[in-house]
Amino acid sequence: MAARKTLGESLREHGVSRRGFLKFCAATASMMALPPSMGPVIAAALEKARRPSVIWLSFQECTGCTESLTRSHSPTVEDLIFDVISLDYHHTLQAAAGHQAEAAREQAMKDNHGEYLLIVDGSLPGPNSNPGFSTIAGISNYAMLQEAVAGAKAVVAVGTCSAFGGLPAAAPNPTGAVSVMDIVKDKPVINVPGCPPVPMVITGVLAQYLVFGKLPDLDEYHRPLAFFGQSIHDRCYRRPFYDKGLFAESFDDEGARKGWCLYRLGCKGPSTYNACATMRWNSGTSWPVESGHPCLGCSEPKFWDAGGFYEPLSAPLGTPGNTLLAAGAAGVVIGGVAATLAKHRAATAVAERQPVTVEELEQKL
Amino acid sequence: MSDPMGFLLWVKGPAFNFALAVFALGMLARLVEIFILGRKTNYAEAKGGEWGPGFKTMLTRTVADPGTFARAPFNVVVGWIWHIGFITALLLFIPHIELFRGVLGIAWPGLPNPVVDAVTAITILALVATLVHRTQHPVKKHISTPEDYLVWTVTFLPVLTGYLAYHRLVNPYPLILGLHILSVNLFLVVFPFTKLTHVFTAFIARWYNGAIFGRKGVQS
Amino acid sequence: MSRLKEIGVKVEDGEAAPAEWGNALPILHEVGHGLRQLRETGEPTVIDLHALPFGPGDEGRLFDLLGRGEVEAQIQALGPTRIWETGFPGVWLVDHRNTEDERLALHIEISSVPEILRSQREDIDDAIVRLEACIADPAGTS
């Protein structure tokens, strides 16, 4: 296999002018949420960057993350597959099927051992659950991940399922699903959660790796800070209404029509870290809050089990009203009994009162 | 439980329900006991009404008389400041109102967040000042019991963690939000068995005082 | 689930007046800052509008406030890039789009000429080579 071309060479070969390249760099900077002043740095780095080999494994997933990726418009998925990265195995997108596909995966793993980037979408049955819950070509997800991780430089967990377990791991978690992070301990893991993640965030993370050749700065949940550094709430254009105390109370009231804050309708923006508010969806058209729907918090762990989507974030889980009533009723009964006992004790004390005179006491002494 | 989000769900769910149950059970048991026990029948002829003076005393005892103010201005001023601040943050912060709606089914208008934020900052400072005063003032230090420090702690922690959570000063966010709710759970559990019950009993006691004096025909 | 059933649907006719989100004005302040810096030190500023939490209509309002100036240009490289000087000389809007006309990036560039409009050194090098080839063999027969 010939040495991989640098991206600069590859683009020039495709007849892309320097202007086009600069534009590509501007788009990349924007996508990576970097300031435009970083453009020249990116240009210098991209000029020399070599396409990394990428192996994409799909486990217990719905293909929504791949669907999202193919909606990425900057760069387009074609650019991404052919120019920016070398996507050597993705069983949904690749033309090869069956044994050929698995052979391609094994070949890529051998050729780029220690260097390739492993992308995983979907959770997988944990080491203690039945491996038969999810297999590819007769290989259990767990075995395939272990084998692929061994030669990987880093693992990118795309989507909430692979990052945190997601839907398969939601209570009662019938397949014993776990996240990539739960299994991979000896290699860097980058989580790109979201159900699905913002397409530009997926490509942005890959571009960042490509440009800087190193893994991005991560938060406590292993999420790249460039995209998950701020909460939806802090970047929301409706935030001024939250601060003023102006809320939509239902989906069709005056507040909803005026675009007021959706906190009371269950918006999980305050506890959710993602880039939706600035990157938006559908080629930058809109995002959930802009279209009038509260944030579901899909890029956070356990988001399926974190209470109703339409319940305010601060509302308690379960039915505390009933707890309060039951406990209150019990309290009334206990208080009543305690008071009755106290009264009874007082009455008994009066009835059984045995007066003692000073003389009697003195005799006893 | 192993991760911050699991911790948050636990404190919001089972732990909150437990704390709420202890609070409701304990508090109602104590109040019902107080009300049923009532007071001993007074056979003396009433020299005045009970209700009017009772309510009047509820009010007059709430405002410190000049003598008390002159003797302990710090206690009066700082005490007022943090009590008002605490109640404002508790009852008029919009996420808290949503919590009350979730538990009690009733809601009311709230204050803009920057106002609540400022009030909370003042409350934190005032509460710290009360602790410093308690440990520096010889008499106060002498009469303070472990319960006093326990009550101060469970009152202070929800305010502090709430402030930290609002400003996202601890990461990840679910951890600090969880700690905030946990501190509130602690407050609720401790509440019925310490002097925190004064939230309910202070006004009842003041009414009783006024009523007794009213019946005797004396001023209070 | 009970809350879900409470979701009402109301069909409105006509265009409601767009709400004011108040995000355009702070940008103008930043633009003003950049303009003064350009005059004093000659240093250009680029503001990435993609990274800002705009509400619906905010972008249009900003465009209206900035207005249109004397220059308009279009570049064809990896899709169209539209550039125009705003009503405030020195303040340019640069709208990068891909071949499917989807926006890649939207910048306000405060500069005497946007960088991407200039002919680039690498392209000039390439041009010299091609021009010499053209002179040597004007018919392009080889």
Domain-located, residue C6: no
The predicted-structure confidence for A67-106, as pLDDT tens digits, reads as follows 888 777 655 545 655 566 777 888 778 777 888 888 888 8
Q: Which of A28, A205, A11 is nearest to C96 (CA)?
A: A28
C19 to chain A: closest CA residue: A258
For A120, phi then psi, to 5°, come to -125, 130
Q: Which whole number is the average pLDDT over C97-121? A: 88
CB pairs under 8 A between A and B: 147
| Residue A162: how many other CB atoms lie within 10 Å | 34
Chain C residues 97-136 with a CB less than 8 Å from chain A: 98-100, 102-105, 107, 115-116, 120-123
Domain-located, residue C40: yes
Interface test with A, best of B7, B8, B9, B12 (most A CBs within 10 A): B12
The 10 Å CB-count burial string (b at 16+, else e) for A119-151 is: bbbbbbbbeebeeebbebeeebbbebbeebbeb
Domain membership of residue C69 as a residue range = 24-123
- Given a cut of 80, whether residue C111 has pLDDT beyond it is yes
Tokens linked to B36:
């049923």
In contact, A186 and A152? CB cutoff 8 Å: no
Q: Which whole number is the average pLDDT over A190-203? A: 89
A250 in reach of chain C (CB within 8 A): yes
Q: Is A323 within 8 Å of B26 when comparing Cβ atoms? A: no
Dist CA B46 CA B38 (whole Å)? 17
Model confidence band, residue C36 (pLDDT cutoffs 50, 70, 90) = very high
Task: Show the CA angle centred on residue C7, arms to residues C5 and C9, nearest 5°.
Answer: 125
Cα of A270 to nearest chain B Cα, Å: 9
Dist CA A42 CA A30 (whole Å)? 11
Distance from the Cα of residue B163 to its chain's centroid? 18
In contact, A125 and A175? CB cutoff 8 Å: yes
Distance from the Cα of residue B58 to its chain's centroid? 17
Q: Which whole number is the average pLDDT over A43-56? A: 80
Quick one: which H or E segment has residue B54?
Answer: helix B51-60
Specify the higher pLDDT residue, A316 or C40.
Answer: C40
Specify the higher pLDDT residue, C1 or A13.
Answer: A13
Task: Show the CA angle centred on residue A356, arms to residues A353 and A359, nearest 5°.
Answer: 175
Cα of B142 to nearest chain A Cα, Å: 33
SS3 state at C85: strand
The predicted-structure confidence for A255-290, as pLDDT tens digits, reads as follows 888 889 999 899 999 889 998 988 888 877 889 999
What residues form DSSP beta bridges with A123?
A60
Domain-located, residue C119: yes
Chain position carrying tokens 């329900």: B17
Dist CA A34 CA A22 (whole Å)? 15
HSE at residue A290, side-chain half, CA atoms within 13 A, is 22
Facing residue for B173 by CB, picked from A231, A316, A318: A231
Instruction: Tell me the H-state helices in chain A.
Output: 7-13, 18-31, 39-48, 64-70, 77-79, 98-111, 141-150, 160-164, 166-169, 180-183, 199-212, 225-228, 239-244, 254-257, 276-279, 320-351, 358-364
- Given a cut of 60, whether residue B158 has pLDDT beyond it is yes
Dist CA A134 CA A118 (whole Å)? 19
The predicted-structure confidence for B85-133, as pLDDT tens digits, reads as follows 999 999 999 889 988 888 888 888 888 888 999 999 999 999 999 999 9
- Given a cut of 60, whether residue B217 has pLDDT beyond it is yes
Domain-located, residue C117: yes
A33 in reach of chain C (CB within 8 A): yes
Cα of C32 to nearest chain A Cα, Å: 18
* pLDDT of A1: 37
Q: Which whole number is the average pLDDT over C29-53? A: 89
Give chain B positions within 8 Å (CB) of A334. 25, 28-29, 32
* pLDDT of C11: 58
| Cis peptide preceding B53, ω within 30 of 0 | no
* pLDDT of C137: 86
Q: Which chains form contacts with chain B, at 3 or more CB pairs under 8 Å?
A: A
A286 in reach of chain C (CB within 8 A): yes
- Given a cut of 60, whether residue C18 has pLDDT beyond it is no
Kindly state the DSSP code that residue A91 receives in the 8-state scheme.
T
DSSP letter for each residue of A243-277: HHT-B--STTSHHHHTT-B-GGGT--GGG-B-SHH
Interface test with A, best of B7, B36, B179 (most A CBs within 10 A): B36
Chain position carrying tokens 């290699």: A187
The predicted-structure confidence for B5-62, as pLDDT tens digits, reads as follows 888 889 988 899 899 889 988 888 888 888 887 777 667 777 777 788 888 888 888 7
Domain-located, residue C81: yes
Q: Which whole number is the average pLDDT over B74-90? A: 93
Q: Is C48 within 8 Å of A257 when comparing Cβ atoms? A: no
- Given a cut of 50, whether residue A2 has pLDDT beyond it is no
Q: Could you give the percent of chain C with pLDDT greater than 90?
A: 40
Domains annotated for chain B, with CATH where assigned, are 4-39+49-216 (1.20.950.20)
Cα of A104 to nearest chain C Cα, Å: 31
Specify the higher pLDDT residue, A80 or A360.
Answer: A360
Q: Is A317 within 8 Å of B33 when comparing Cβ atoms? A: no
Model confidence band, residue A22 (pLDDT cutoffs 50, 70, 90) = confident
A17 in reach of chain C (CB within 8 A): yes
Domain-located, residue C29: yes
| Residue C77: how many other CB atoms lie within 10 Å | 18
In contact, A168 and A175? CB cutoff 8 Å: yes
Dist CA C35 CA C44 (whole Å)? 8
Q: Which whole number is the average pLDDT over C30-52? A: 90
Q: Is A338 within 8 Å of B96 when comparing Cβ atoms? A: no
Q: Which whole number is the average pLDDT over C108-130? A: 90
How many domains are there within chain C? 1
Q: Which sign does the torsion angle of CA A351, A352, A357, A358 carry?
A: negative
Facing residue for C116 by CB, picked from A19, A74, A236: A19
* pLDDT of B56: 83
Cα of C94 to nearest chain A Cα, Å: 10
Q: Which chains form contacts with chain C, at 3 or more CB pairs under 8 Å?
A: A
Interface test with A, best of C62, C97, C98, C113 (most A CBs within 10 A): C98
* pLDDT of A181: 93
Kindly state the DSSP code that residue B167 receives in the 8-state scheme.
T
* pLDDT of A328: 79
Q: Is B113 within 8 Å of A242 when comparing Cβ atoms? A: yes
For C5, left (φ over 0), alpha (ψ -120 to 50), or beta? alpha
Interface test with A, best of C6, C27, C30, C48 (most A CBs within 10 A): C48
Q: Could you give the percent of chain B with pLDDT greater than 90?
A: 42
HSE at residue A69, side-chain half, CA atoms within 13 A, is 26
Cα of A311 to nearest chain B Cα, Å: 9
Facing residue for B37 by CB, picked from A263, A305, A343: A343
Q: Which whole number is the average pLDDT over A130-135? A: 90
Q: Could you give the percent of chain C with pLDDT greater than 70?
A: 83
The predicted-structure confidence for C69-99, as pLDDT tens digits, reads as follows 999 999 988 788 999 999 999 999 999 888 8
- Given a cut of 90, whether residue A179 has pLDDT beyond it is yes
Domain-located, residue C18: no
In contact, A36 and A29? CB cutoff 8 Å: yes
SS3 state at C117: helix
Q: Is A27 within 8 Å of C53 when comparing Cβ atoms? A: no
Cα of B173 to nearest chain A Cα, Å: 6
In contact, A263 and A257? CB cutoff 8 Å: no
Quick one: which H or E segment has residue A136?
Answer: strand A135-136
In contact, A243 and B114? CB cutoff 8 Å: yes
CATH of the domain at C102: 3.30.1370.140
Q: Is B13 within 8 Å of A331 when comparing Cβ atoms? A: no
Contacts of A8 (CB under 8 A, 6+ apart): A21, A46, A47, A48, A49
Give chain A positions within 8 Å (CB) of B22. 327
- Mean pLDDT for chain B overall: 88
Quick one: which H or E segment has residue C81?
Answer: strand C80-85
* pLDDT of A344: 82
* pLDDT of B124: 96
Chains C and B touch (3+ CB pairs under 8 A): no
DSSP letter for each residue of A191-210: EE-SSS--HHHHHHHHHHHH
Task: Show the CA angle centred on residue A213, arms to residues A208 and A215, nearest 5°.
Answer: 65
State the ipTM, two decimals: 0.79
For B68, left (φ over 0), alpha (ψ -120 to 50), or beta? alpha
Q: Is A245 within 8 Å of B94 when comparing Cβ atoms? A: yes
Domain-located, residue C38: yes
Give chain B positions within 8 Å (CB) of A178. none
* pLDDT of C13: 54
The predicted-structure confidence for A314-330, as pLDDT tens digits, reads as follows 887 776 677 777 877 88
Specify the higher pLDDT residue, A188 or A354.
Answer: A188
Q: Which chains form contacts with chain A, at 3 or more CB pairs under 8 Å?
A: B, C
